[in-house]
Chains A and B, each alone.
Chain A
């Protein structure tokens, strides 16, 4: 589909400038907040208005957007949720009186892509996908289509979502976050419903040429369904289409998140693979959010580059072989599922 030429990640872990993912930051109050860098590239007069999602998106983008992308494609389920509710609170608190517009302008989901466009004077294609748990996947597909239309171009592709106190409250009330404290790998042993909240921003430069690339996105598939056997069947089909031998997968990156209600999907997909395939999980490090597969993609690129992953990511102690092909499976709230196949270049 396309090659990944450069990738930057702001997350709850040390993934941005000095990468150290051996050491694990643990959640506080059920949330894994992203570690924000100093954002040296963003003019202060513009930075002052940005909410966290926009800051993280622009901050990660500016490190790689210098290389002149022809367009910007962003996946974000909620965009600037914090600004959104801040504006909403103004509406209620001041009884629809005299309100400040900045929160409103910053709250629109397309604020991230448009601010990147503004700061890099990019007048090319600009689109924001907001399809909840498949927002990033649709952005990936959009990018793949653009590159097939314009093979000489390069595009900036990103997945961003923020934890806001407000969307945490809403999703907590809806039963998606755990009531009890969990830290690190104990997330996966809890056997209760819900998970921990996370946030982050991953930006990458996508192109059609292998030269200088670190990884290749080979295939992507999105599904809306709630039957785990159907999902497993679709994964079989996906593998048959894109992998010559199921044993060719060197690592299965599983989006399991400690929510006992969703484990059946991950188990069913894991069962499709060969028994000795190494399995890694990552949501104890990233937390759960709608565009978290962007983090998984960054982690896969790390595994290719380092040819290893810290022990805490590995689900089983299995003999490690070379990382050449990685399969990511994720589902969001049990209804939106995706497979991504990535290969080392």
Chain B
């Protein structure tokens, strides 16, 4: 089977508008959790968020994106996609080729426009300009139209693991000869809908989230987007290759609609499968970018699964303390961070951690480390038990 290389990256999140800015925040341990300024919700003052610090009109201006019905979710996606395409130096001819696939992921879609959606869904009056923008497919379709991408196009929604699965799907399209390259990733923007949903489940923290800490109080919602350009070995023309996507696994926890099993059966299976696909023993993993949402349930289940699989757990941390939980974008943003870790030989510190969990005693990395890394794992687990794990290796 031919190898798959990552040749382009694009990220926008609460800690930066591009790859370099994101990396700078991680290296200098500067989280982006704070008061939301553009978001309209009752909770804007009471709860911290990982908001991307640019308004929707400014994004439109910056991206010259004035098409009717364009949502913040689509704009964040466009911002990251544009960076990834330029980074990978893809030509128009390559983009329009039937051999170039686009696989997006999101969970909110145009529902960031909660009030407009409420109006359109409940009334038989004049519709808003967003009638075709609410579903999850809308962001990917917008990107496809804008770049006239010629190959297979898809959108995946497996809740919080959506974009990890988008990366996996793109890689498999290449393995099966259905594409030569795939632009893969995900996006989501902050929305009253998700804020109130997670709040109703009592898993939003009223402070900056503390992944893997004994006294963690829940997660912070964030927003953003990230895209990766995957290319088949032998067809890469770009002068730099970030990493190889060497393994992936997808498994279901089959335990509960909104929480993980106590011993993390689904996470364990997903990580195991990824190792098998990469043909690596567990001991070869040098660093794990954990799912680490900061909820009581996730962090304990994930810790137990890591202990069961690795025994001696490798270096790990959760970058959700920086970006917040960006839902459909999380898998792609964290995959991009994992790739940057490998490429630059560095481990990004977890933040807001002070006391290990009594149940597991695991200590995440809390200081920036310079370290030669060979294999990095990125975990993404979602509602509905949808667990996915990716492994990136030095190319």
Which A residues have a C-beta under 8 Å from some C-beta of B?
A: 72, 77-79, 84-85, 87-92, 95-96, 98-101, 104-111, 113-115, 117-118, 120-132, 134-135, 138, 141-142, 145, 148-149, 166-167, 169-174, 222, 224, 333, 335
Contacts and interface: CB of A to CB of B under 8 A. Distances in A.
A222 B153 contact: yes
A148 B157 contact: no
Interface in B65-114: 107, 111, 114
B123 to A, nearest CB: 7
A124 B251 contact: yes
A111 B384 contact: yes
Contacts of B176: 145, 148
Interface stretch (B18-26, B197-205, B294-302): B197-205
Interface stretch (B51-59, B136-144, B306-314): B136-144
Given A131-B155, A141-B152, A142-B169, A87 B127 contact: no
B291 to A, nearest CB: 16
B42 interface: yes
B256 interface: yes
Contacts of A134: 153-154
Contacts of A91: 114, 118, 192-193, 196
A108 B157 contact: yes
A281 to B, nearest CB: 25
Contacts of A171: 131
Contacts of A124: 251-252
Interface string B141-164: 100100000001111111100000
List 5 A-B pairs, minimum CB-CB distance, nearest first.
Answer: A114-B384, A173-B127, A104-B197, A132-B137, A166-B121
A157 B253 CA distance: 19
Contacts of B386: 110, 113-114, 126-128
A340 B197 CA distance: 38
21 contacts: A77-B137, A78-B135, A88-B114, A91-B114, A96-B195, A99-B197, A100-B200, A108-B383, A115-B257, A127-B386, A128-B386, A129-B156, A134-B153, A141-B178, A142-B172, A145-B173, A148-B176, A170-B120, A170-B121, A173-B127, A174-B132
Nearest to A109: B157
B117 interface: yes
Contacts of B62: none
B159 A110 contact: yes
A222 B107 CA distance: 23
Interface string B367-383: 00000000000000011
Given A118-B385, A126-B252, A101 B140 contact: no
A169 B142 CA distance: 22
A135 B107 CA distance: 14
Nearest to B168: A127
A236 to B, nearest CB: 15
B43 interface: yes
B149 to A, nearest CB: 8
Contacts of A90: 196
A138 B255 CA distance: 26
Given A90-B196, A108-B159, 4 more contacts: A92-B114, A95-B42, A99-B196, A141-B178
